[in-house]
Structure 1
């Protein structure tokens, strides 16, 4: 996983490494020129802070540093110049490595920036602890914020060098070359890794043929805007129902529709009589009632429905 894909949200990581290298060269040359002009006197304000601080003046590493500056100023100067020019050298190597995509030329600058980040963080913490007793709170807050922003910037530059190391390793990999070619500055279009023997022509749909039901190809063409939307056929599995179903019959309607044909009248009542004679009132109570109900139902049917 890459640490970053761009430098300062605008530049490429490759350009970011070049910018970091240029800033490093300027910083180290400024340190060297200042040391040439002032010598070890440039460290006198820091030495005075340590000498007058009750918490740090008796520390072993503090006494060793102060005695070293006072007893061997030439050695301290020569060592600082050596470190500065070594840092400048690795910055120049990083510029060459970023231009020619040589990842091992960038790694020394990443190590140097990481070391500088650790040193400047430790020095900033110690100085803020000592200065809190000498300056007011407002100035202390301003110096703390400025120091924190500078420390974050140095750490960001170190991460940029590490990200460029990762990117160069990525573009030099066999997998990347197989997909995009050997030139990372002019990558090729992605090529298929399948053998040519297994490549088959794409199935071409007949645009208005409802029998062609290749769903995968339809999805692919619909994403490209080449396949028209069509409504799927709807198959009803429910029985057909009337648009306006008839309401259930009431009890008096059922009674009016009951003709009494299913009733078996007593044969002794009408064995010697004709049906019409029975309807006229000669012993045919059942037949007469059924006939009246049927006539009433036929006359009133249009009112119910």
Structure 2
């Protein structure tokens, strides 16, 4: 899965790697020139912050770097110069790798940018902890937001280099070359059969076949505007409605309609009497009312249907 398909939502990843490399060259060159002109004096404001902070001035790693810059400024400057030139070197290699699609030339810049991302994140956190005791809250919030945006931008650049590595691996794969041809800068519009040279006819794409499951080909054609839009079939999900509404029956009529001869009779009323005997004998009144309600309900049902 690719980390990204475009740089800054507009440029291609290939162009994004070139932009990242140019920005890296400018940044590293500025750092190198500043260190060459000013020497270790450029780090004096940062050293003063650590020296006057009660929490960090006695830390082992702080004392180590401060002592190194004070006792051996030449070696300290030389190490930073080497790092800056190495960063510029991998940026140039990355530009060449993006132009010629050489994946192993793009990966060193991703590693350098990732290391720079970790260092700048750690330094930003430490500086904000120290500055919160010396500046007001509004300025602290502004510096925190600016630092966070810059950290996110550096991390985004590192991910761009990794995405370019993934894309080069993809276009060099056998599956991609089978679908789009050998030249990734000029992909084929349609794939052709390569067996037996030109004896076989070009592959015919079944664009209107609903059972076509070639997802890769469908995605490629849809990006070129060749894949037709298929309107989904309309399927009714509502229950079938009757033409005429069912008449509303009274509760006693519904009860009489649900009563039939095969249902058990109420033994407390009917006992052992037959239905025809009940019309004229014991319980006849109840049986007659039920029979009239059932006839009315049946007539209403037949009237509407």
TM category (shorter chain) comes to 0.5 to 0.7
Aligned to 1:139: 139
The verdict on how the C-alpha distance between 1:224 and 1:141 changes in structure 2, with shifts beyond 3 A counting, is closer
Aligned to 1:170: 170
Tell me how far apart the structure 2 counterparts of residues 32 and 77 of structure 1 sit (CA, whole Å).
9
CA contact (8 A) 2:193 2:201 kept: no
Number of aligned positions between the proteins: 210
Tell me how far apart the structure 1 counterparts of residues 28 and 205 of structure 2 sit (CA, whole Å).
62
Q: Does 1:89 align with 2:89?
A: yes
CA contact (8 A) 2:110 2:161 kept: yes
Q: Does 1:112 align with 2:107?
A: no
Aligned to 2:156: 156
CA contact (8 A) 2:103 2:168 kept: yes
Q: What are the equivalent positions in structure 2 for 1:40-119 lying under 5 Å apart?
A: 40-119=40-119
Aligned to 1:19: 19
Describe the SS at the equivalent of 1:114.
Answer: helix
Displacement after TM superposition at 1:55 (Å) = 0.5
Displacement after TM superposition at 1:40 (Å) = 0.2
Q: What are the equivalent positions in structure 2 for 1:115-126 lying under 5 Å apart?
A: 115-126=115-126
CA contact (8 A) 2:124 2:147 kept: yes
Q: Does 1:179 align with 2:141?
A: no
Tell me how far apart the structure 2 counterparts of residues 39 and 163 of structure 1 sit (CA, whole Å).
37
Larger radius of gyration: 1
Aligned to 2:35: 35
Tell me how far apart the structure 2 counterparts of residues 120 and 200 of structure 1 sit (CA, whole Å).
54
The verdict on how the C-alpha distance between 1:42 and 1:100 changes in structure 2, with shifts beyond 3 A counting, is same
CA RMSD of aligned residues (A): 2.8
Displacement after TM superposition at 1:37 (Å) = 1.1
Displacement after TM superposition at 1:193 (Å) = 6.5
Tell me how far apart the structure 1 counterparts of residues 9 and 210 of structure 2 sit (CA, whole Å).
43
Displacement after TM superposition at 1:200 (Å) = 11
The verdict on how the C-alpha distance between 1:216 and 1:137 changes in structure 2, with shifts beyond 3 A counting, is closer
1:17-67 CA-to-partner distances (Å, cap 9, x unmatched) read 000000000000000010011100011111111111111011110110110
Describe the SS at the equivalent of 2:184.
Answer: coil
Aligned to 1:298: none
Displacement after TM superposition at 1:163 (Å) = 0.3
Tell me how far apart the structure 2 counterparts of residues 22 and 202 of structure 1 sit (CA, whole Å).
43
Displacement after TM superposition at 1:215 (Å) = 10
The verdict on how the C-alpha distance between 1:62 and 1:200 changes in structure 2, with shifts beyond 3 A counting, is closer
Aligned to 1:245: none
Tell me how far apart the structure 1 counterparts of residues 192 and 92 of structure 2 sit (CA, whole Å).
40
The verdict on how the C-alpha distance between 1:215 and 1:138 changes in structure 2, with shifts beyond 3 A counting, is closer
TM-score, length of structure 2 as denominator length:
0.64
CA contact (8 A) 2:191 2:202 kept: no
Tell me how far apart the structure 1 counterparts of residues 188 and 74 of structure 2 sit (CA, whole Å).
57
CA contact (8 A) 2:17 2:161 kept: yes
The verdict on how the C-alpha distance between 1:7 and 1:54 changes in structure 2, with shifts beyond 3 A counting, is same
Tell me how far apart the structure 1 counterparts of residues 21 and 131 of structure 2 sit (CA, whole Å).
32
Unaligned runs of 5+ in 2: 213-226, 230-305
